[in-house]
A and B are shown apart, each in its own frame.
Chain A
Amino acid sequence: MTSANKPAPDSEITLRVNGKPHTLHIDNRRTLLDLLREDLGLTGSKKGCDHGQCGACTVLADGRRVNSCLLLAVALDGSEITTVEGLGGDGEEPHPLQRAFLDRDAFQCGYCTPGQICSAIGMIAEAAAGHPSQVTDPATPSGRPVPLDRSEIRERLSGNLCRCGAYPRIVEAVEDVIR
């Protein structure tokens, strides 16, 4: 690995995406987002800013929500990726959070929506695992699940911008699935 030869500008990687393995030969510059959109045709993950400043590209990598626009695909060899297309499972029925977004009219233009949904799923898991947020009372005992009230949901989803201003409906949709 440490040979002085100039390493190649491209690589071969294997990713599992929505449960399916993909082996791809990629330009090292390829981000996970562009790999999903351009190589796999999974365009549900959106490019809003390409710099980690909007959250539209949010996916789950090994179960954790991340900005796929800032992750180099080459560094993810062997990872398990879940995108908005993979949330509903094999059946026709969408994921309960996708259903809640429909029920609450939690979107307008729809461009931030896949990122909001993936982010919310990751966020719910984080809270269950005891991860605090900026608004968690410091007196809350460490290591226990953090209850998600509205201010917790808002803070934890703040990495997902919505220019249509669907925020209140998104919070309601999240509340629907955690109740």
Chain B
Amino acid sequence: MTATSLGAPVERREGRQKVTGAARYAAEYHLPGRAHAWPVPAPVARGRVTAVDTSAALALPGVLAVLTPDDAPRLAEPEDATLAVLQGPDVPHRGWCVALAVAETLEAARAAARAVRVTCAAEPHDVGLDPGHRDAYEPKETNAGYPGRVEHGDPQAAFAAAEVRVDTVYRVPPLHNHPMEPHTSTAHWDGDRLTVYTSSQGGTTVRSVLAQLFRLPEDTITVVSEHVGGGFGSKGTPRPDVVLAAMAARHTGRPVTLAYPRRSLPTTVGHRAPTVQRLRLGAHTDGRLTAVLHETTTHTSRVKAFVEQAAVPARVMYAAPALLSSHRVVPLDVPSPSWMRAPGEAPGMYALESAMDELADALGMDPVELRVRNDPECEPGSGKPFSSRHLVECLREGARRFGWAERDPRPRSRTEGPLLIGTGVAAATYPAAAVPATASARALPDGTFAVRINATDIGTGARTVLAQVAADALAVPVDRVGTEIGHSDLPPAWLAGGSMGTASWGWAVHEACAELASRLAAHTGPLPADGIETRADTAGRADADSPYARHAFGAHFAEVAVDSVTGETRVRRLLGIYAAGRILNARTARSQFTGAMTMGLGMALTEGSTLDPAFGDFTETDLASYHVPAHADVPAIEADWIDEEDPHLNPMGSKGIGEIGIVGTAAALGNAVHHATGIRFRHLPLTPDRILTGLLAGG
């Protein structure tokens, strides 16, 4: 019973609160006298605010204030320039916040925002992503600190000399995170003390950013993120909602809630930047790769440089004597891009794994076998050995479970009336990393334990899995461990992001509990009334350089039905098999895997956003036009994993699992569509307009 609780399918601790409606989210703190804020977006794509007429808005009943660039509280210059809201007249993109209405009620705030008259001096703008753009440049670093370019061997020459070649271009449109809870913060000042309830993936960062912006000591700021209605990267660091709410609360002397309107999210909270990716693969006729060239172009805003690291997976995946992985970025007058679930890997692996399928096609080789044949000894980009790599096992196990052997490899070989049926495979990878965190653990005289850490549960089940980690280290039943998270009074820890949350938090929890266990073993007699507490800080260990390349791997198998009448593509089956170290909670892990696969399904088939050339913002701004998958789109999705032991990771032996599920899903589906139709579509999403046009042209 005390052997281990790691891996057990323990039920979510906050589940009961969530299914009964008792769980409180950031807008749901009814502080006395609370007011509501509503943002006013810039009506031009580039230019300057020349006047903000607030008279009509202020004349409406219940309106308390309208903050403008002229009178909003002055902030210190933020490191993240997207947070410099209402600090000056410049408009870097359409939708940039140019005023904020504050009123007694939601209705009055909305009406007041509408009544604000903003006059802008517009300048010509450019939002068109083109690899040949004159402003395109190669960045030194991409997002997550990767070198912009890695080159080994002589890739151009190796490609030119290859016996079999694939040379293609794939396009992924802008994508939106759209967590179900919009970005929301409630802020309250008590003198110079600030409390915020915010929908964020990491309260520790929120606190340090607010401290810097408002020039306050960190210990005067309290940040609460008890329950968070999804983030998927877009709540990774503070977004304008928390800054504006704090400004409005200071300006009005009232607690203020700002819940961003859904339609404002695309321009405000970041998006997955579009990519244009050129893939060149050279191979021997036996399938061995001789050259891998992955060159990607993306955009960023004028506000900050964010480079989606789409070419990075090529440095991890396959053995080839010649490798080029490079990025170019074009600063445009677009809303600022940011993290969206598996930044880099999701779009990059769509392209690389589609190209691998094309190569298998060109070779007349099974796509599973092609990947197996090119499984590398060491990480191609770094030359480091892998701490563990079981991609081949994932592919084999997935193939077995999916019934891959019965597949007729010929495209368009299977039909059911007007339906074209196809299957596809793709591999997945995602880095397994950790960052330092602190935690405390306390043994209480009643035999229970209290674990405290400022972790965040954005839906992963962090409370539950951290209790399991603690119970395991303490060798006690998991129900004797209480976990407190989501509050900045707790020992600081990093955010729920980069698939690093559990590894980082769990490491600190494990250390605090292991230390506590030895203290208890040495302790004689009853515990003091307030128990015994230990604290851990993993700095120096969690962030230590590793001689190993550490990644999770996976394999995705998909079956689709393409309706030749309409071009509608619907998924029949999706299977994901993962090698992600030790799985810490079988129940919540499966949910994360299948959930990410569902987002990958959306990326492949339904989700697409368009930058409007004339207006400079996204055309698909709401959930009626930006199609996240609905129930009817999602059939049986299965996720499972192989047992993987990896001693080079962290004390739990776990790899992050929040993101790998999306990586490779889009390629598996795209490859299945090719198998179904015999046509290669290289521009996501695979909506009926594209598919039908392709079917008519090609077949």
Residues of A at the B interface (CB closer than 8 Å) are 27, 29-30, 34, 37-38, 41-51, 53-54, 56, 83-85, 87-88, 94, 98, 101-103, 105, 107-114, 117, 151, 153-155, 157-171
Contact = CB atoms under 8 A, between A and B. Distances in A.
Given A117-B19, A153-B631, 15 more contacts: A38-B106, A42-B21, A47-B27, A48-B180, A48-B181, A49-B622, A49-B623, A54-B262, A94-B20, A101-B19, A105-B590, A109-B227, A161-B623, A165-B594, A165-B599
Which one of B17, B21, B592 has the greatest number of beta carbons of chain A within 10 Å?
A: B21
Contacts of A43: 21, 24-25, 27-28
A27 B12 CA distance: 40
B179 A109 contact: yes
Interface in B497-528: none
Nearest to B600: A165
Interface stretch (B116-124, B138-146, B149-157, B632-640): B632-640
Contacts of A50: 261-262
Interface of B: 11-12, 14-25, 27-28, 30, 105-107, 111, 177-182, 227-230, 232, 259, 261-262, 458-461, 587-588, 590-592, 594-599, 622-624, 628-632, 634-637
A47 B15 contact: no
A84 B404 CA distance: 44
Given A102-B15, A110-B229, A161-B180, A167 B631 contact: yes
Nearest to B259: A47
B624 A109 contact: no
Nearest to A97: B19
A6 B603 CA distance: 51
13 contacts: A43-B27, A47-B182, A48-B180, A85-B20, A94-B19, A107-B18, A154-B635, A155-B631, A160-B631, A163-B178, A165-B595, A165-B597, A170-B631
A110 B16 CA distance: 10
A111 B183 CA distance: 12
Query: 4 closest A-B pairs (Cβ-Cβ)?
Result: A44-B21, A165-B598, A111-B229, A110-B18
Contact of B623 (A47, A54, A101, A171): A54
A52 B23 CA distance: 22
A163 B591 contact: no
A114 B21 contact: yes
Contacts of A102: 11-12, 15-16, 19
A154 B634 contact: yes
Nearest to A114: B21
Which one of B11, B19, B178, B622 has the greatest number of beta carbons of chain A within 10 Å?
A: B19
A105 B24 CA distance: 19
Nearest to B599: A165
Given A46-B229, A165-B596, A113 B631 contact: no
Contact of B180 (A42, A94, A163): A163
B21 A51 contact: no
A110 B623 contact: no
B20 A44 contact: yes
Which one of B14, B23, B461, B587 has the greatest number of beta carbons of chain A within 10 Å?
A: B23
Contact of A109 (B17, B181, B629): B181
Contacts of B230: 108-109, 111, 163-164
Contact of B20 (A88, A153, A167, A170): A88
B459 A154 contact: no
B631 A105 contact: no
Contacts of B459: 107-110, 164
Given A51-B262, A108-B595, A166-B595, A37 B21 contact: no
A154 B14 CA distance: 26
Contact of A110 (B105, B227, B628, B635): B227
B106 A162 contact: no
A13 B372 CA distance: 68
B631 A158 contact: yes
A85 B625 CA distance: 31
A49 B626 CA distance: 12
B6 to A, nearest CB: 17
Contacts of B634: 154, 165, 167-168
B22 A44 contact: yes
Given A41-B30, A44-B22, A163-B232, A169 B591 contact: yes
B180 A109 contact: yes
Nearest to A113: B18
B591 A105 contact: yes
Contacts of A170: 631
Nearest to A112: B180
A51 B180 contact: no
Contacts of B20: 44, 84-85, 87-88, 94, 98
A107 B596 contact: no
Given A102-B15, A165-B634, A48 B262 contact: yes
B624 A105 contact: no
